[in-house]
Amino acid sequence: MFHRKPLEQRIAERQAKLPPLKEGKHFEHGPAKFVFVALIAIVVFLHVVGLAVVMHFSP
């Protein structure tokens, strides 16, 4: 369309210009990492609150 390369080809060329990623230093999906860390934090918090409630109401 209008003498432009296809989108797939433009993306492939752009990715080919990038340097190789360092092993263990790159997480490809930032939003997924945020959701994962938030979910772990919520689970830990709820466990601590649940433990406190059980300890408070136990004889």
| pLDDT score at 3 | 82
Q: Name the residue type at position 37.
A: V
Q: Name the residue type at position 28.
A: E
Tell me if residue 29 falls in helix, strand or coil: coil
**pTM of the full predicted structure?**
0.52
| pLDDT score at 17 | 92
pLDDT in tens, the chain (59 residues): 578 888 999 999 999 998 887 777 766 787 888 999 999 999 999 999 999 999 999 88
| pLDDT score at 23 | 76
Residues in Cβ contact with 5 at an 8 Å cutoff, skipping those fewer than 6 apart: 13
